[in-house]
Copies of this chain bind each other. A is one copy, B any other.
Amino acid sequence: MNILVTGGLGFIGSHTTIELIKNNHSVIIADNLINSKIEVLDKLSIITGIKPTFYQIDVTNEAKLEEIFVKHKIDGVIHFAGLKAVGESVSKPLEYYYSNLVSTMLLSKMCVKYGVNKFVFSSSATVYGEQEPPLKEDMELKKTTNPYGETKAMSERILTDTAKANDDFSVSLLRYFNPVGAHESGLIGEDPNGIPNNLMPFVTKVAKGQLEKLSVFGNDYDTIDGTGVRDYIHVVDLAKGHVKAIENLEKGVNIYNLGTGRGTSVLELVNAFMKVNDINVPYEIVGRRPGDIATCYADASKAEKELGWKAELGIEEMVRDAWKFEQNNK
């Protein structure tokens, strides 16, 4: 298939591009380079032996987006492009709503207009709101706690209504849990600008000495060691889930959790990182962060049953590959 991957030079998009190429699909990348680097394109070539077609465009630019649909016979879209920092979304909500909603609406419009009937959307477990785990796809969604999460919930709704109105448009909504790790080559990985928002890149920056110490937000949660428990998933497993989702897309609206189904606490992750990589990561316990919940993990059985996909890599591979990438990353 010819697959348009928006945000294809970003963390999850780049790993998905590799898995698509390994499965003999052609990839066209659209990326505005706001949260990604052009060097990733060369690294994708090194890893796969194939250089994907690349357009530096913002997918909220309708005219430029349409040029891609005119020029290429596209069979499916995997839509990663979007702003993704939770904290920033609270202070700049209009930028988040505009970027993340307009991109989804225009891509859907182009798919309907040009007869592209496969759409895979990069959603998030945050759409569940605060609910008791394990989280299942058929749960009613609760109020999201920040604009970033709300853009994911709104995009899901827009895509669902579009699929209901258009028999020839099918969609898969992939709700990610906590993607970490990096490609085993060490060439690509998570490389956020500025101070990382997520735990793993923060840990690797501390291990590398670029940040002094890790702040652990709260150790008084009702969990195994008091720190927050999340369902970490290796980004390569996640990428493989996208290939399965677009290759096995059923007619209509499909929703899948992409997680491992297992929870790991902050301290368990940090200790695994130190042990596997034989390096110290100084940390201190600080107060809880507003909006954080104690425990979140997936019921991952639906994707296994319907897509034949399940996460295969564990915490050891996640911390090993994250550190390998950080050491390579200048």
Which residues of A line the B interface, CB within 8 A? 90-94, 97-98, 101-102, 105, 108-109, 112, 140-141, 143, 147, 150, 154, 157-158, 161-162, 164-165
Contact = CB atoms under 8 A, between A and B. Distances in A.
A185 to B, nearest CB: 40
B140 A150 contact: no
Nearest to A104: B97
B154 A92 contact: no
Nearest to A89: B161
Contacts of A140: 143
A150 B143 contact: no
Contacts of A141: 143
Stoichiometry, copies per complex: 2
A143 B142 CA distance: 10
Given A92-B165, A161-B147, A105 B97 contact: yes
Contact of A94 (B90, B92, B109, B143): B109
A158 B93 contact: yes
Contacts of A154: 154, 157
Nearest to A105: B98
B94 A105 contact: yes
Given A91-B165, A165-B90, A165-B92, A97 B143 contact: no
A93 B150 contact: no
Contacts of A91: 165
Of A92, A97, A109, A112, most buried by chain B (CB within 10 Å of CB) is A97
A105 B96 CA distance: 10
A93 B109 CA distance: 10
A182 to B, nearest CB: 33
A154 B100 CA distance: 13
- List 8 A-B pairs, minimum CB-CB distance, nearest first: A93-B161, A147-B161, A97-B158, A98-B105, A93-B165, A94-B109, A154-B154, A91-B165
Contacts of A93: 158, 161-162, 164-165
Contacts of A109: 94, 98
A154 B102 CA distance: 13
A164 B90 CA distance: 8
Contacts of A147: 161
